[in-house]
Structure 1
Amino acid sequence: MLFGLIFLVPLLGMAVGTAAGALSGMLTDTGIDDGYTNRVREEVTSGTSALFVLTSGVVVDRVREALAGQDMHLLHTNLS
């Protein structure tokens, strides 16, 4: 956007900068493994829901024990 404001007409520059930012955002990888994304897509079907929790220092076995007896699937992954 700054490039567009400096070198192009301000309104046109903002539009070009916004479009360039949106395009670069669409092309950026999220860092989540594609296999995991596909697995979640298969598990969360019509009529079901998902809860995503981002934590640090979690022991998956303890979470699994705490959720024992519930009608749910625990999917987990580590993000870099």
Structure 2
Amino acid sequence: MSATEIAKRHFLAAVEEAEAAGLGHDSVCRSLLGLVVSKYLETRNVSDVQSELRFVAENCDPGTDFMFMRP
């Protein structure tokens, strides 16, 4: 099992649980993002975490290729 498969399974369970509790997926996504950032900060410096988040934010459009994927 890959890291992505493990994360996806737990993410989907958290979203389902939040929605069942009437919280909606937005609040659980925000909470999970905060937990990810906190975990990153245990072993990475702030500028590195910011860089990671910036990369994800700048490349989150599913209709756009990543720069490194273009010929």
User: With structure 2 as the length reference, what TM-score do the two structures score?
Assistant: 0.29
Structure possessing the higher radius of gyration over alpha carbons: 1
- The answer to which structure has the higher helix fraction is 2
